[in-house]
């Protein structure tokens, strides 16, 4: 049972950053704006969070600043995509190129030329409020004793589902993503809603990056995010642009990561480290492609809207 608890707990830990980023993709694309730049937004969020946590010793401030860093890039993406009607894919790719270089430049400025931030002390990482609540080594403890970002990520799924499917705001967002001109004729400000959703997308992606650098890890370096933003886009598509669908896909990837870590322990599977590091991506693709049917994006996704 201890092994099962370890696998489930590790699944939740590695799923949290993906969940944040995937929810960002969900709200942006439901409004009709493709956000390929989630990877870059996660990178910026991870760097800012690790830096703020080290200098301020406040994980909550660091988490907020990480989200704001991603939100600032989201605002940049919205400016290009919504105001200037630029190509949304090109804008996202540009952010993915710009963000790692900018983060590395700022890191060298903040940490005396180092290519990585200094290690965040355990007291400066995101707190685990259920620590010592359960007996040490128990299944419940292994599964539920997670840092707060895991529970915030699960809460984000519930909030996103409620917003999109139980509020007037969500109804308008989905209408804009399907037929912006019809929404405009009803007096809905298409640009304002798209700006709101894209900035929120960047903020959520920044939270995902922050949960990596001050939750899963204790520092930021060049490979901290390592493609998680692109995986988040993939699981959002596999989840059919729905919050609950994306959550399931994120958990699949998290479990694949957990199984690789579990079988990577000495004496379990004597496989090359390179093969093991590749396994989560292969397993995720096999599982998702096998069980997910045809998917259809919102009709106006990726199409700039020009008011007549």
pLDDT for position 244 = 95
pLDDT for position 124 = 87
70-126 pLDDT, tens digit per residue, is 999 999 999 999 999 999 999 999 999 999 999 999 999 999 999 999 999 988 899
Nearest CA to 29 out of 246, 279, 306, 258 is that of 246
SS3 24: helix
pTM of the model: 0.94
Contact 44, 187 (CB under 8 A): no
**Residue segments in the chain with a per-residue pLDDT below the cut of 50:** none
Tell me the C-alpha distance between 234 and 222, whole Å.
22
Contact 261, 10 (CB under 8 A): yes
pLDDT for position 292 = 64
């Amino acid at each position: 049972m201890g092994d099962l608890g370890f696998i489930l707990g590790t699944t939740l830990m590695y799923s949290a950053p993906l969940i944040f980023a995937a929810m960002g993709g969900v709200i942006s694309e439901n409004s009709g704006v493709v956000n390929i730049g989630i990877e870059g937004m996660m990178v910026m969020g991870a760097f800012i969070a690790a830096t703020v946590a080290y200098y301020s010793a406040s994980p909550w401030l660091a988490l907020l600043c990480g989200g704001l860093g991603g939100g600032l890039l989201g605002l940049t993406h919205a400016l290009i995509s919504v105001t200037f009607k630029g190509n949304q894919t090109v804008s996202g790719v540009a952010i993915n190129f710009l963000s790692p270089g900018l983060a590395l430049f700022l890191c060298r400025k903040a940490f005396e030329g180092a290519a990585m931030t200094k290690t965040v002390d355990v007291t400066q990482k995101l707190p685990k409020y259920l620590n010592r609540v359960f007996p040490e080594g128990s299944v419940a403890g292994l599964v539920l004793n997670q840092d707060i970002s895991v529970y915030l990520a699960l809460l984000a799924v519930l909030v996103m589902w409620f917003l999109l499917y139980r509020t007037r705001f969500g109804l308008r967002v989905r209408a804009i993503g399907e037929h912006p001109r019809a929404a405009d004729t009803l007096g809905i400000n298409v640009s304002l809603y798209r700006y709101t959703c894209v900035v929120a997308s960047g903020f959520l992606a920044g939270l995902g990056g922050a949960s990596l650098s001050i939750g899963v890890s204790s520092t930021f370096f060049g490979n901290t995010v390592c493609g998680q933003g692109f995986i988040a886009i993939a699981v959002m598509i596999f989840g059919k642009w729905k919050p609950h669908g994306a959550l399931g896909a994120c958990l699949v990837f998290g479990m694949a990561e957990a199984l690789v870590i579990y079988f990577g322990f000495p004496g379990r599977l004597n496989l090359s480290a390179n093969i093991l590091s590749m396994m989560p991506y292969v397993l995720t693709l096999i599982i998702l492609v096998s069980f997910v049917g045809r998917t259809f994006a919102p009709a106006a996704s990726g199409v700039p809207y020009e008011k007549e």
